[in-house]
Amino acid sequence: MEGTKRKPGRPPSQKARTAIFKATMELLLEHGLRKMTIDRVAEHAGVSKATIYRWWSDKVQLSMEAFVYHVQIEGTIMNTGNIVDDYIDWFCKLHRFYSSPEGRVLAQIMAESQSRQEMLLPFQERLRAMLYDKCMIIWNRALERGELDDTIDAMLTIELLHSPSSYRMLSNQPPLDDEATAKMIRLLFQGIKKQ
Q: 134-189 pLDDT, tens per residue? A: 899 999 999 999 999 999 999 999 999 999 988 887 787 888 999 999 999 999 99
Nearest to 155 by CA among 167, 139, 170: 139
Residue 57 C-beta-side C-alpha neighbours within 13 Å: 10
SS3 184: helix
- Report CA-CA distances (Å) from 70 to 97, 120, 189: 14, 18, 34
User: Measuring CA to CA, how many Å separate 194 from each of 21, 145, 147, 190, 191?
Assistant: 47, 11, 6, 9, 9
Asked whether the beta carbons of 24 and 41 are under 8 A apart, the reply is yes
Rounded mean pLDDT, 83-109: 92
Q: How do residues 27-85 score in pLDDT, each as one tens digit? A: 999 999 999 999 999 999 999 999 999 999 999 999 999 998 888 766 678 899 999 99
Whole-angstrom distance, CA of residue 29 vs CA of residue 105: 7
pTM for the whole thing?
A: 0.77
Per-residue pLDDT, 10: 56
